Amino acid sequence: MKKNEAKSRIEHLSAELKRHNHNYYVLNSPEITDFQYDLLLLELQELEKMFPEFAQKDSPTVNVGSDLSAKEQFEQFPHKYPMLSLSNTYNIGELEDFSNRISKGTDRPFTLTCELKFDGTAICLTYKKGKLFRALTRGDGTVGDDVTRNVLQIPSIPKQLVEGSNFPDEFEIRGEIYMPYNAFDKLNYQRELDEEQPFANPRNAASGSLKLQDPKQVKDRGLECTLYHLLCEEPVAPTHTQSLEKAKEWGLPVSEHFKECNTVEEVESFITFWDTERKKLPFATDGIVVKVNQLAIQTSLGYTAKSPRWATAYKFKPEEASTKLLSIDYQVGRTGAVTPVANLEPVQLSGTKVKRASLHNADQIKLMDIHIGDYVFVEKGGEIIPKITRVDINRRGFDIVPVEFPQNCPVCGTPLVKDEDEAKHFCPNRDECPPQIKGKFIHFIGRKAMDINAGEATIEQLYGKGYIKQLSDLYKLTEVQLLTLDKWKDKSVANFLKSLEESKKVPFHRLLFAIGIRHIGETTAKNIAQHFKTMDAIAAATREEILAIEEVGEKLADSIIGYFGKPEHLRVIGELKEYGLQMELDNTGKSIESEILKGMTIVISGNFTISRDDMKALIEAHSGKVGSSISGNTTYMVAGEKCGPSKLSKAEKLGVKVIGEEEFMNMLKN
C-alpha cells in the first residue's frame, strides 16, 4: 500500500470507529455488530504498525470508548484506578500466544481464570464502611458518570454489606449491569406498543436504562448485576478467585460461572463448553474473559494505554444462518407507522427456529437490495432479536422479484404518507384504520397510562364484537357485554370494572399521555400538563403558546394542534370528562402549598438533607418548575453538597443566581 493510500485509510478508519464508539456507548444504537467493529479496529491496528507516522494521538486503538453523558445530565467524578477495556480475539489459537507472553513477562508460576463475559454495561462501585458510596460508569476510562441513584434501584446490588464479614473500610468493585432476556422482551414489547424504537439488544437496553433521569423508571427495568474485579489499597487475598470468594461472603453478587485453569487446553475446554451452553442462560454473554489469577503477577505485568496485559477476552462469533425470504408482510402500528416484516423459510438459530424478521423500513430494504426469493443472512442481535444483515448474493437466482413498498395502507387502503426527515411510511387514517384503533386502546390501558386491568386479547375481542371504537367506549361497557367475552366470568368482569373506576383517579398528565397524541411521551405529557394545567387550556392553545414550552419542538406542536383540531377528538375528550377522568392538574392529588415560586424555573444539583425527588416535589408544591439543565430561563440554581462543577460554571457564565439549601428553604418559609 502506498503512503498516501495508507494515510487516507487510517483517517477514514479512525473517523468511522469514533463514530461507531459514539453510537455504541452514548446513543446505545450501534449500526454494526461487535465482530464487524473488531475487524475494522484490527485493520487500523495493522496499518498503524506499518505506518506509525500517520497514527492519530486519539486513535481508537489506544483510547477507550466513552459513555460520558452531557455534564448537565449526570455529575462526573474521576476513577481512583483507570477503568480500561480488554484486548480481544476470535481465535482460540491466540490464547496460546497470550499465555506465552505471560510466561515471558514473569518467572513465577501462574494459573489462568476463565469467566463468562456478560454483555452489559460496565459499572464501578465504591463501598465505604460497608455502605454503597458511589457508582460510576466507565465513562472515558478516567472519568465516569455518577449513576448512584439509579444503581440503588437494582435489587441485586447491596446498599449495605453483610455485617461482621471483615471487609476493608474502603474498596472498589467492578462488574457489569445487564438486562436478562425476559426483562428485555417485556421492555421491547411495551416500546413496540408505544411505537418507540425497540432496543437492538439487551446491552443497549441495560446501558440506556442506567442513564435514565428518573430512578423510579430504572426500578421497573429489571436490571441485574454481576461483579468480577476487586480493587483496594491492600489485597484481601493473593489471587483473583480468592478475592471474588471474599466479595461473595460480603454479600456482593459474584458470578458462579468461573474456573481456575492450569493449562491453555483447560481454557479451551471451558470456552468450547460455554459456546454451546450459553444459549441456555437467561442473559446474554458474548465471550469468555481470561485473566492471570495471581494478583502480584497482575501488578508486575501492568497495563498498556488501553488495556491490562494480564487479561484478554475470547469473543464468540455471532451465529448467523442463510435462508430464503418467502414474502413480506406490512404491519400497521398504533401511530400508523408501517413496518415491513420478512417471512422466512424456517431456520435454526441460537437454539430457536426463526420464521420472521423485521426489515424496519423501505430505505433499509433498498439499502440491502433485498428481493422476494433472495437468500438472506439472519442473525440474532444480542442472541434474541432476529434481523436480516445482508443478502446472500452467491445464492441469488433468476426467480427473484423486486420489493414494491405499498403505496396504500395494507389494512384500510388509505394512501400512505412519508415525511422527508422520517424513515417510516404512515397511514394517516388514524380514527378509522382498525390496527391503529386497537393500538390506541392497548396504549390507553397500559400500566404507565391508565393502568386498566385488561390486555391485548381483551381489546381484540371488544373491538371484534363492535363494543369499542373510540376511547370513551370503554367506560360504556356493561356486565352483559363483558360476560360475552371468551373465558370471562363474574370475577373477571368485576376486576375489569373496578380497574375502570380506579382509572378515573389517574393523574391528568398520565391521561394526556394515554390518549395517544403522536410524539407525546410520558415526560413531555407531564411538562405540558404542568404548563397548561387543564385539558381545555391545551385544546385552546395556539401553536406559538405550545412552542413556548421548553423541549417542545415544531413537530410536537403541530401534532397537538392537529389532534385538538378534530371535532371527533374533542367529543371523545368531552365524554371522558363526563365519566369523571382527571382533566386538570390540581386533580392529581398534589397540593399546592403556595405560589412563591410561580413563574420560576429552579435547577438543583448535588446532595441535600432530603432526597432529590423530595426537593423537586417541594419546588412543584410551591408552584415552581424543575429545570433539567442550566439555561437563560433558569431563575435559581440550588446547590447542595458535591454540586456539579459544570453546572456552577454554566450558572456563573449565564448570570444565574446560585443559592444553598438553607437559603432556598428560608425563601419558602417567607
Catalytic center residues? 117
* Distance from C-alpha of 654 to C-alpha of 650, rounded to nearest angstrom: 6
The span from the first CA to the last CA of the chain, in angstroms, equals 76
Alpha-carbon distance of 544 to 393, in angstroms, equals 53
* DSSP class per residue in 284-325: -EEEEEEEESBHHHHHHH-B-SSSBTTEEEEEPPPPEEEEEE
Q: Which residue has the cell 454503597?
A: 132
How many other C-beta atoms can be found within 10 angstroms of the C-beta atom of residue 443?
22
Which residue in this structure is represented by grid cell 357485554? 481
Backbone phi, psi, residue 322, to 5°: -100, 130
Distance between CA atoms of 611 and 347, rounded to whole angstroms? 52
Instruction: Map residue 37 onto helix, strand or coil.
Output: helix
As to burial, measured by CB atoms within 10 angstroms (0-12 exposed, 13-18 middle, 19+ buried), residue 256 is: exposed
CB 509 within 8 A of CB 530: yes
The SS3 of residue 48 is: helix
Cβ contact 637:651 at 8 Å: yes
Residue 630 has which C-alpha cell? 442550566
3-state secondary structure of 576: helix
- In this structure, the chain runs to a length of 670
d(CA 382, CA 288): 16
For residues 221 and 153, what is the distance between their CA atoms, to the nearest angstrom? 10
The rounded distance, in Å, linking the Cα atoms of 436 and 335 is 6
Residue 452 cell numbers, joined: 386498566
How far apart are the C-alpha atoms of 123 and 173, rounded to whole Å? 9
- Alpha-helical runs (H) found in 357-489: 362-368, 434-444, 456-464, 479-482
